[in-house]
């Protein structure tokens, strides 16, 4: 029974990995279930044993990968002791993901916006939780006096994530030529210095 469960899990994982590759290469609208099945090494009908269709596959892919990214970001932030360090870590983790796994980043950043179902889905709550990590760090830093209260946490999260999203999109659309590690260091320093309280005092 356990061997069968493992085999099923492996096949589902293969389909998800294949979907990432095909969606990134062909685009969500152009990609077909047959292409995903071929890339995964399974019959077309096998896809429908696990997913309702192409939109459902994209949503489930997002749900599972976003759960992993959310946990990775929370762990990374928790490892830092100060609000400025936590903010730097989030920015660096986000752009490191894009550079490390551009196909996944392309699906999460570009292709999901092509899905009408995603735009209406409650699954977006996980994206909101991920972006809210920025607001949580900023809010805690303002309360501790480490960060200035010149901007609300809600505004800060939108400004920071919006900038990161644009940088990631530029990297993906430019043929992945820029050095995102260097960019992460520059951008994190820029944002943190703009928010960091001088001499530990509040604004």
Structure tokens at 47: 């896809």
Distance between CA atoms of residues 22 and 47, nearest Å: 14
* pLDDT per position as a tens digit, 81-108: 999 999 999 999 999 999 999 999 999 8
What is the pTM assigned to this prediction? 0.84
* pLDDT per position as a tens digit, 121-174: 545 688 889 999 999 999 999 999 999 999 999 999 999 999 999 999 888 888
């Amino acid at each position: 029974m356990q061997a069968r469960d493992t085999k099923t899990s492996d096949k589902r994982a293969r389909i998800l990995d294949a979907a990432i590759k095909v969606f990134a290469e062909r685009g969500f609208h152009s990609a077909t279930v047959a292409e995903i099945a071929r890339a995964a090494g399974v019959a077309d009908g096998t896809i429908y044993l696990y997913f309702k269709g192409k939109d459902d596959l994209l949503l489930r892919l997002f749900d599972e990968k976003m759960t992993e990214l959310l946990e990775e970001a929370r762990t990374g932030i928790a490892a830092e002791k100060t609000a400025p360090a936590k903010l730097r870590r989030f920015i660096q983790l986000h752009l490191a993901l894009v550079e490390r796994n551009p196909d996944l980043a392309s699906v999460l950043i570009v292709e999901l916006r092509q899905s009408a179902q995603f735009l209406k889905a409650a699954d977006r709550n996980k994206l909101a939780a991920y972006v809210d990590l920025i607001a949580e760090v900023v809010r805690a830093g303002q309360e501790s006096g480490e960060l200035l209260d010149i901007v609300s946490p809600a505004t800060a999260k939108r400004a920071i994530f919006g900038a990161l999203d644009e940088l990631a999109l530029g990297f993906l659309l430019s043929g992945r030529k820029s050095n995102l590690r260097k960019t992460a260091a520059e951008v994190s320093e820029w944002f943190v210095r703009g928010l960091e309280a001088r001499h530990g005092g509040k604004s």
